[in-house]
Amino acid sequence: MMTDMPDTTSTEGLAAAADAWAAVLGPQNVLRESPAVAPYACTTLPAAPGPAGVIRPGTAGEVVEAVRIANRYGVPLYPISRGKNWGYGDACPPTAGQVIVDLGRMDRIVEVNEELAYAVIEPGVTQRQLSDHLREIGTRLWLDCTGAGPDASVVGNVVDRGFGHTPYGQRFHHVSGIEAVLGDGQVLRTGFGHYRAARTAHIAPYGPGPVLDGLLTQSNVAIVTRLGLWLMPQPESFCFVVCFLHDPDDVVPAVDALRGLRLDGTIRSVAHVANDLRAVSSGRVFPRTLAGDRAPLSADWRARLRREAGVGVWTITAGLYGRKAQVAAARRAIAKTFRRRGRELHFLTPQLLKAGDAAARLLRFTPLGPRLTEKMLRPRKVLDLHCGVPSGHFLAGAYWRHRDGLPPDFPEGCDPAQDNCGLLWLSPVVPMTGAAVRAFLALVEPIYAAHGFDFLITLSTVTDRALGAVMTVAYDRDDSDEAARAMDCYQALWAAVMDGGYIPYRVGIQSMADLGRGSDGYWGTVAAVRRALDPGGIIAPGRYEPASGRPETMGEDG
């Protein structure tokens, strides 16, 4: 579905804008030459538009000036926080001719309020940076982490409405007070934040008047320069729950049971239901040398990998947080609901993990010691993630079909786009009923098989009533035939889920032009808002903007 709008940026306009930006930002923060710009064009997609240049403002004031200059010379801007939007477009703009606004220099943690449990951060702040800072200052507050790795931006994920793992996993629901620069250069502060004397900007998100925060997410009307993020107080007790299902059809009653546990508040975290290959791929790559070069893996090989990884056909994970009595009661309710023949239910606590580590140290000089140490690594990383400590360990799935396997120093510093991984993500939303999941799997799994790819999927409880089905199309980017088939597979999946009513909760640049498919008027209203807030169409043309809603192609939806 990738379509490019014409590159209308003139060479003269771009050169004049670059000179003006250099005067404001410093010439070292205006990149035009290929070696400096090339890393921003790296992508996990089969192909994506490259940037026309890169600018790197260091303050909100510099963002304002950069936007005004862009308007003066008609140069479109594409803002990124850290550019780690792997599988959805990475740092690449949706259309050609755009100059990337890299906000990575804006990495200040402006405030941490321990009493009211929030932080105020800029877009360049990474998961690692905020998590480390909370520990360094000795606060008992946790960040909700995603599996995107330590170097991913917190703000970048929030404004694309990503989700994490804890009870604060719906991250945008825990934001209060956003500062953003609109497409015309004006500064907008949402909620109570636009009142100079406001005392509640970051603790109460809804001030008088319309709520505008949503306009700043998955949109192209502004550049977010700061936001307030609620943090989770460290609970008295925590327990990680994992349940392995060994019957593929058991996922249907398991989803129904999970819905009940979410609706009654027993499980307050985001719970994840991963199929076998999604779970296996979080710790290894495709067994190319043993199983042959081509996907998909046979049933026998999938069974072998499940045994080696110690996972089920489906794996359900969740976190339990609260006082000791609350967590104990939740454990009893989950055990009563999930314990049955064909399932393995385990409860992992920090205390149990410490005991395992101690045993591994005692046995370190025996053959069992190293194996136990390795076996403890994955549970430790999973538990850390649920306790606000990010890890790159879970980026292994992006390397599933990578020809050279995992990098030698994995997971430190890994970057799937820079490493030439092939990765396409599609994230439709499915009703949280067993019947709906059965119908959805019957719709999408055959498409993978028809195009010759392994089926990797995680169903996550994005609400108490809905599942976000994050599906991975992993491919060998060095194989042009496989890359073409991957895009064909993705497009077939896109058409199937859109026409089937399972609309994605977030979208990559490869599909934004087709967002009007089956829509009734909504995108025309969005286009009208954009014209009001960004009359020059400067901010990220084509981002969450279907072709039918773009100014030069306004049709029925516009």
**pLDDT tier for residue 366 given thresholds of 50, 70 and 90:** confident
Same domain, 87 and 151: no
The closest of 409, 460, 464 to 146, measured between CA atoms, is 460
Cβ atoms within 10 A of the Cβ of 76, count?
A: 25
Decide the pairing of beta strands 343-348 and 272-275.
unpaired
Nearest to 151 by CA among 129, 171, 172: 129
Based on the fold, state whether residues 491 and 388 are members of the same structural domain.
Answer: yes
- 245 & 132 share domain: no
Q: Is the model's pLDDT at 200 over the cut of 80?
A: yes
Please tell me whether residues 175 and 241 are part of one structural domain.
no
157/144 Cα distance (integer angstroms): 11
Report the pLDDT averaged over residues 439-465.
98
Residue 48 belongs to a domain = yes
Q: Is 512 helix (H, G, I), strand (E, B) or coil?
A: helix
Once rounded to an integer, what is the mean pLDDT over residues 357-385?
Answer: 71
pLDDT greater than 80 at residue 360: no
Q: What is the DSSP letter of 429?
A: E
- Chain centroid to Cα 36, Å, comes to 26
The CATH number for 48's domain is: 3.30.43.10
Residues 6+ apart with CB under 8 A from 493: 426, 444, 447, 448, 471, 473
Q: Could you report the per-residue pLDDT of 97-131, keeping only the tens digit for each?
A: 999 999 999 999 999 999 999 999 999 999 999 99
Residues 198 and 93 reside in one and the same domain? no
| Collapsed DSSP state (helix, strand, coil) of residue 187 | strand
554: pLDDT strictly greater than 60: no
Query: Is it the case that residue 6 has pLDDT exceeding 80?
Result: no
The region of weakest confidence among 162-176, 189-203, 325-339, 542-556 is 542-556
| 425 strand-pairing partners | 472
pLDDT mean across residues, the chain:
93
Contact 330, 263 (CB under 8 A): no
Residue 224: CATH number of its domain: 3.30.465.10
Cβ atoms of 174 and 228 within 8 Å: the answer is: no
* Residue 307 placed within a domain: yes
**Rounded-to-integer distance, Cα 409 and Cα 465, Å:** 40
Write down which residue in 102, 127, 145 finishes a domain.
102
Question: Tokens at residue 383, please?
Answer: 């538990």
Report the chain's terminal Cα–Cα distance, integer Å: 20
Question: How far is it, in rounded angstroms, from Cα 395 to Cα 179?
Answer: 31
176 domain-assigned: yes
Do 536 and 434 have their domain in common?
A: no
Mean pLDDT to the nearest integer, 233-256: 97
**Pair (294, 317) in one structural domain:** yes
In the chain, % of residues over pLDDT 70: 93
- The pLDDT of residue 442 is 98
Q: Is the pLDDT of residue 195 over 90?
A: yes
311 and 203 fall within a common domain: no
- The answer to the question of residue 4 being in a domain is no
Residue 374 is predicted with a pLDDT of 63
Residue 484 CA neighbour count, 13 Å, CB half:
3
Judge if 268 and 394 occupy the same domain.
yes
Total number of domains constituting the chain: 4
Same domain, 208 and 115: yes
The verdict on 87 and 116 lying in the same domain is no
pTM here is 0.93
CA distance 89 to 80: 11
The alpha-carbon radius of gyration of the chain (Å, integer) is 23
Q: What angle do CA 558, 64, 5 make, to 5 degrees?
A: 35
The rounded distance, in Å, linking the Cα atoms of 169 and 231 is: 11
| pLDDT score for 354 | 78
Q: Which residues of 231-266 are buried (b: 16+ CB within 10 A; e: fewer)?
A: bbeebebbbbbbbbbeeeebbbebbebbbebbeeeb
pLDDT at 34: 87
CA 213 to chain centre: 19
Task: pLDDT band for 2, please (50, 70, 90 cuts).
Answer: very low
- Boundary of a domain, candidates 59, 81, 102: 102
Both 276 and 411 in one domain: the answer is yes
3-state SS of the chain: helix, strand, coil percent to 5? 40, 20, 45
* Full residue range of the structural domain in which residue 527 is found: 522-553
CATH number at residue 471: 3.40.462.10
Residue at 2 is within a domain: no
Lowest-confidence segment of 2-16, 328-342, 406-420, 521-535 by average pLDDT: 2-16
Band of residue 541 on the pLDDT scale cut at 50, 70, 90: very high
253 domain-assigned: yes
Indicate whether 198 belongs to any domain: yes
- What was the pLDDT predicted at 289? 86
How far is Cα 519 from Cα 69, in angstroms, rounded to an integer? 35
| pLDDT in the model for residue 416 | 96
Backbone angles phi, psi at 116, to 5 degrees: -100, 0
pLDDT of 377 higher than 70: no
Is 138 a domain residue? Answer: yes
Pairing type for strands 99-102 and 53-55 reads parallel
Which of 199, 233, 267 is the endpoint of a domain?
233
> What is the per-residue pLDDT for 550?
57
How large is the average pLDDT for residues 511-532?
95
Residue where the block lists tokens 């209203």: 525
Q: In what helix (H) or strand (E) does residue 77 lie, and over which residues does it extend?
A: strand 77-80
For residue 172, is pLDDT > 50? yes
Residue 224, CB-side half-sphere exposure with 13 Å CA sphere: 34
In this structure, of 29-43, 134-148, 379-393, 500-514, the range with the lowest mean pLDDT score is 379-393
Cα–Cα distance, 273 to 254 (Å, whole number): 9
Buried b (16+ CB within 10 A) or exposed e, 379-391: bbbbbbbbbbbbb
